[in-house]
Copies of this chain bind each other. A is one copy, B any other.
Amino acid sequence: MTVADDIRAKGMRMTVQRRLVLDALRRARHHITAEEIARSIRASYPQIDPSTVYRNLEALERLGYVTHTHLDDRVTRWRRADSPQHGHLVCRRCGSEEEISMSVLAPLAKRLKGEHGFSADLAHSAVVGLCRECAG
């Protein structure tokens, strides 16, 4: 079943705008912000409103097609749900970002599950701290 069919099967429509948001996410190598998605779409389709992008991201997240993460600012970053999951290390001094394998985070997730019954989503928020250079 295609994405479009699945969306329709859930009583929703596959509109041009929805497809453009999906495409923008498909093109992105990493997480991108709603504003970046809107900007990249509006480069070719200037009439498309940022609020439409927000509404579509929310809808697509409900359907399980996209997810979001938080780095160390107030901005939400989006990615396709089927792109490879990974953690983030963000330096609070220089702002550098490093992606890390989920396997590094897995032992903590396991422990939180065992000791607290908590199913942690360790890809959801970046780990903040000081990178090698800034820690000196």
- Residues of A at the B interface (CB closer than 8 Å) are 70, 72, 74, 89, 91-92, 98, 100, 104-105, 107-108, 111-112, 115-122, 124-132, 135
Given contacts A104-B112, A108-B105, contact A120 B89 (CB under 8 A): yes
**Closest B residue to A111 using CB positions:** B104
Main DSSP-derived SS at the A contact region = mixed
Q: Which chain B residues lie closer than 8 Å to A98 at the CB level?
A: 116, 118
Copies of this chain present in the complex amount to 2
**Closest B residue to A117 using CB positions:** B132
Q: Which chain B residues lie closer than 8 Å to A126 at the CB level?
A: 125
Q: Which chain B residues lie closer than 8 Å to A122 at the CB level?
A: 127
- Pick from B92, B111, B121: contact of A129, CB below 8 A: B121
Find out whether the CB atom of A127 lies under 8 angstroms from the CB atom of B112: yes
CA distance A129 to B109 in the complex (A): 10
Q: Which chain B residues lie closer than 8 Å to A128 at the CB level?
A: 120-121, 124-125
Q: Top 10 closest A-B pairs, CB basis?
A: A117-B132, A120-B129, A119-B130, A119-B135, A124-B128, A125-B125, A108-B108, A121-B129, A119-B129, A89-B118
